[in-house]
Amino acid sequence: MTVARKILLTGGAGFIGSHLVKWILDETEHEVVNVDKLTYAGQTRSLSGCQQNPRYQFEAIDIVDRKNVEELFHRHQPDWVMHLAAETHVDRSIDQPDEFIQTNVVGTFNLLEQSRHYFHQLELDRQSRFRFHHVSTDEVYGSLSLDDDPFTEQTAYNPRSPYSASKAGADHLVRAWHETYRLPVIITHSSNNYGPCQFPEKLVPLVILKAILGQPIPVYGTGENVRDWLYVTDHVRALMRVVEAGAPGETYHIGGNNQPANLELVQSICRLLDTRCPVADNPRLSAEQQTGLASYSALITLVADRPGHDLRYSSDTTKITNSLGWKPHETLLSGLEKTIEWYLTNEDWWKPLLQADEGC
């Protein structure tokens, strides 16, 4: 049985972070200090029930503020740092790259520096169990052609967007702090996540909500871009396995081994919605919207491609499977079914986000 630890977890009000917080509280005896500045993508409603747990604390802090980060370590004395806080949406990074540099690079630097000072003043037994787990992305490796081998942990970096470049910069800092200061770090690179409580700007919830509201479903370019899709709970299980048993200085890939083209993914979501929420029975659609609409797939609309759009991501997950015994539980079908069901039955979570985005 794993000994209970105190975890300083950044970005715990975000999509992956909120699932991780709830998993830790429900499935382990660890304590969680959730550090989040609550940007547009940070939703405290995703943490319903956590506030009443005596093993949970929340800190509304921006990791770019170095003084506040220093005080965090002083107050909470963590055993592990799990660093998920990041700006993540590629389109936003193209429009506003400065926010990505500040949070993803400067924020990571602040956490590393304070972790370094904190780690070296710990007694040896606490040093031996301290971990700095940096959660990164497969996008740092750049783009694959359709017939290239998957990324491995040895693949050279080749970021092609402000988002992926900022995450690559953070990764390099993390590795440098390990090599230079012997800080016990671990890095994980995950593929595209999806699941409940994901902000509607991301592809899977965007498609679901556009469809059930009878709006055009935008697909970039020809829809041939390929991503590996990972159900968020599978990712959370992997993160916990890595922080509990991963080796300091190592990197691990986490993927769902589901790699449809974007257009194929969107069509799959539409087919599932046709069965679970048929157009004719959808109370969100007006009679005019329902007229002549036999399937949600008719709403699919190809739009101009975004700049620097990577063609394909694919990661080899052999290392984490062989060394730590992790593999995904969900197939793409089972994960999408669970995700669609959640969005259909949790309109009170996503509707205010759409209204805020429209300026209502």
| Residue 359 pLDDT | 43
Calpha distance 10→82 (Å, rounded): 6
How far CA 341 is from CA of 55, 244, 269, in Å, comes to 30, 32, 11
List domains and CATH numbers for the chain. 6-193+232-257+312-329 (3.40.50.720)
Residues with active-site annotation? 138-139, 163
Residue 196 contacts residue 344 (beta carbons within 8 Å): no
Q: Is 83 strand, coil or helix? A: strand
Task: Provide the pLDDT for residue 45.
Answer: 83
Helix (H, G, I), strand (E, B) or coil at 181: helix
Candidates 40, 18, 12, 7; CA nearest to 201 is 40
Using N-to-C axis directions, what is the helix angle for 262-276 and 203-212, rounded to 10°? Answer: 40
Residue 322 and residue 344: Cα distance in Å, rounded?
37
Q: What share of the chain is helix, strand, coil (3-state, %, to 5)?
A: 50, 15, 35
> For residue 35, is it left (φ>0), alpha (ψ between -120 and 50) or beta?
beta
Q: Are 72 and 37 in contact (CB under 8 A)?
A: no
CA atoms of 292 and 149, how far apart (whole Å): 44
Query: Mean pLDDT per segment of 10 residues, for the chain of length 360 residues?
Result: 88 95 97 89 81 95 96 97 90 89 96 98 96 97 95 96 96 98 98 95 96 97 96 98 98 96 98 97 94 95 91 97 98 98 96 70
Return the exposure string of 278-314: e unless at least 16 CB atoms fall within 10 Å of the residue's CB, then b.
Answer: ebeebeebeeeeeeebeebbebbeeeeeeeeebebbb
Task: Decide: 325 and 310 in contact? Cβ < 8 Å.
Answer: no
**Region at 302 (left for phi over 0; alpha for psi -120 to 50; beta for the rest):** beta
- In the prediction, which pLDDT does 67 show? 96
Q: What is the residue type of 238?
A: A
